[in-house]
Structure 1
Amino acid sequence: MFDILMYLFENLVYDQSDIQTDHDELTDELIRAGFHHDEIYKALTWLEKLSELQKTSNNPYLTGLSGVPSTRIYTYKEQLKLDIQSRGFLVFLERINVLDSSTREMVIDRVMEIDSQEFCVIDLKWVVLMVLFNVPGKESAYEQMEELLFEMPDGLLH
């Protein structure tokens, strides 16, 4: 399913295609690309839920305390999915104002819906990018995240 999400994001977003393509057309395109129907359904459902989360009236993560620092306590299942490096990266993104508490929770929600057993920080970066792309008013945060995703380290790697 995550491969499909990546394929859609890279091909529809970066190619500037119409993101509002109808499900039948999208399904046909994904089948032609070699993806299985059940995985396509899961990916499209994942994207629909992401779209629903960004709507103010449906967003369970909006609170009246925005801007107030808080500590996020992860459930056992979240800790299994998001290792210490991933959780640390989320804290880092909040500290540099790429994520706020609402978008952080949207990211965690979407991560928990990915059915992959192996999930790493690079995957998390893509999920963050997808979430920020779908939240109005987060264009600057999206650009920052895009730079973080594609930046190449300077100097020698050990």
Structure 2
Amino acid sequence: MNENLIDVLIFIYENYMDTENQPQDQILLEEELFKAGFEKEEIKKAFDWLDELAWRQGSITDAASSTRQSSRIFTFEEQQRIDLETRGMLLYLEQTGILDPVSRELVIERAMALDTQDLTADDVKWIVLLVLLNQPGQESAFALMEELIYNGNPEMLH
């Protein structure tokens, strides 16, 4: 199977994070992912990516709350990996309240951490969902993002 890291992350979310079927042991989950056809290297990268996300989420503060009126300038490297359509989508998600500045930065950082040059807007939508999944106080933003991914448009944006 020629899957990339984002495919492994989507599979983990859809089959384990969004259900009660979570294996109690990471080794068992790795074995299940391998049986599902994912390569061991991609599985390891996915767990490393999720571990880094959890670490970053645990170490952030809401220092960016005072920057709500500021604009985000993308670096040259970010512009090379995150195309104009995806940057526009991130701006839209921030303007509609799905992302706050801290979450936006986590999304950009996690997108840049992916080992792919052909990052799509759909890939970044999944990153947004994974970033919002365990952030306290972001339950409604998470629900809106999940609706956007699965149905195309959230029911209501504030």
Where on the TM-score scale, by shorter chain, does this alignment land: which range?
A: 0.7 to 0.9
Give the 3-state SS of the residue equivalent to 1:34 in structure 2.
coil
Q: TM-score, normalised by structure 1?
A: 0.86
**Bigger mean CA offset, 40-49 vs 67-76:** 67-76
Q: Does 1:114 align with 2:114?
A: yes
Q: Percent same amino acid at aligned positions?
A: 40
Give the aligned residue type for 1:129.
L
Q: Could you tell me how far 1:54 is from its partner in structure 2? A: 1.4
Contact persistence 1:86–1:120 (CA under 8 A): yes
The separation in 2 between residues aligned to 1:44 and 1:151, in whole angstroms, is: 27
Aligned residue among 42, 45, 54 for 2:57: 54
Give the 3-state SS of the residue equivalent to 1:149 in structure 2.
helix
Per-residue deviation, residues 33-78 of structure 1 (Å, max 9, x unmatched): 11111111110000001111211xx12x631643631111111111
Aligned residue among 4, 10, 21 for 2:8: 4
Q: Does 1:28 align with 2:48?
A: no
- Cα gap change, 1:77 to 1:138, in 2 (>3 Å): same
Contact persistence 1:111–1:124 (CA under 8 A): yes
Q: Which residue of 1 aligns with 2:102?
A: 102
- Cα gap change, 1:87 to 1:37, in 2 (>3 Å): same
The separation in 2 between residues aligned to 1:146 and 1:91, in whole angstroms, is: 17
C-alpha root-mean-square deviation of aligned residues, in Å? 1.8
**Bigger mean CA offset, 144-153 vs 118-127:** 144-153
Instruction: After TM superposition, list the pairs within 5 Å mapping 1:17-96 onto structure 2.
Output: 17-18=21-22, 21-55=24-58, 58-59=59-60, 62-63=62-63, 65-66=65-66, 68-96=68-96
Give the 3-state SS of the residue equivalent to 1:141 in structure 2.
helix
Give the aligned residue type for 2:112.
M
Q: Could you tell me how far 1:152 is from its partner in structure 2? A: 4.4
Q: Which runs of 5+ in 2 are unaligned?
A: 154-158
Q: Which runs of 5+ in 1 are unaligned?
A: 154-158
Contact persistence 1:50–1:134 (CA under 8 A): no
> How many positions carry a matched residue from both structures?
149
The separation in 2 between residues aligned to 1:21 and 1:108, in whole angstroms, is: 30
The separation in 1 between residues aligned to 2:78 and 2:106, in whole angstroms, is: 13
Give the aligned residue type for 1:122.
D
Contact persistence 1:85–1:121 (CA under 8 A): yes
Q: Could you tell me how far 1:151 is from its partner in structure 2? A: 2.5
